[in-house]
Amino acid sequence: MLLGESPLWHPEQKCLYWVDIVAATLNRLNINNKSVKKFKMPSQIGSIGWRAKGGLIAALSDRFASIDTETGMAQTLALPLKKPPQDMFNDGKCDRQGRFWAATKDIAEESPVGSLYCLDVEGKAMEMANGFTVGNGIAWNLDNSRMYICDSPARQIYEYEFDPIKGQLGAFQVFAQISPSAGFPDGLTVDSEGYIWSCHWDGWQITRYKPTGEIDSVIPMPIPRPTSCCFGGEDLKTLYVTSASVGLSASILADAPQSGQLFALEIGVKGVPEPAYLG
């Protein structure tokens, strides 16, 4: 993989999906026979969720789309971004009320032009927050009262007050500040104990945070760029981790030849099922 992202365990199909943003592919792993199916997308694809009525919901570079998981065909659902965009869609996830949220990033990763969008179950896309340079790592706490999102260049994970019924954000605070030596916060997920797992781009690690924002534990990785993670498998006790090889020098790739691979970690902690998009 060049830039693996958005791992997703499909609870009905019992398989793992993820995207390669740079290669513009959607990938599906059959856990039983280890076969991988790749679908070429019409543009770069930032993130995915599963859809209750079938297929997937996705954030392509400039739009929300549905994807047929048999053919790989993408159908536009909403076009919320300006054209030509200075930003593009990046990380995204479904909330427990069936909405799909996705953040955008500045293509140059320099200016805070990124926003957070929500695609509701009626198919309407709305801007919910802005000011991100690289919006990343979306998840919710167990009682749906808090939403987590990163701004990677700022090295910060934010915690927003969240109204699950209205799908609205309230005040926010910095949940975690990542030190320069630990890289940049990327994708994240929440486990069944309410702890937050965050991948560190250029940090060679995954951090498990307590709900208070304190570090609980750190898992060293054999690659510098773990990008995102999700819980999967029949018992939701496997942490699947995507990674990136794009942009790494020959010397770093020699030290980390597994860069760009998919990892499955047995960590003794159970995740929570990813909800579906209900639109």
Residue 95 marked as a ligand binder: no
Q: What whole-number distance in Å separates Cα of residue 93 and Cα of residue 273?
A: 12
The one catalytic residue among 87, 91, 106, 186: 186
CA angle 144, 241, 237 (to 5 degrees): 65
Q: What whole-number distance in Å separates Cα of residue 162 and Cα of residue 171?
A: 9
Radius of gyration of the chain (CA): 17
Catalytic, 186? Answer: yes
Q: Please report where in the chains the tokens 């701004």 appear, as a residue.
A: 151
Assess contact for 47 and 102: CB atoms under 8 A: yes
Assess contact for 195 and 148: CB atoms under 8 A: no
Nearest partner of 110 among 136, 90, 94, 134, judged by Cα: 134
Residue 27 marked as a ligand binder: no
Residue 90 marked as a ligand binder: yes
Question: Could you tell me where the DSSP H helices lie in the chain?
Answer: 250-255
Residue 109 marked as a ligand binder: no
Nearest partner of 153 among 90, 215, 102, 217, judged by Cα: 90
Q: Please report where in the chains the tokens 């990813």 appear, as a residue.
A: 274
Q: Which residues are the active-site residues? A: 186
Q: Known binding site for a divalent metal cation: residues?
A: 5, 136, 186
Binding residues for substrate: 90
Known binding-site positions: 5, 90, 136, 186
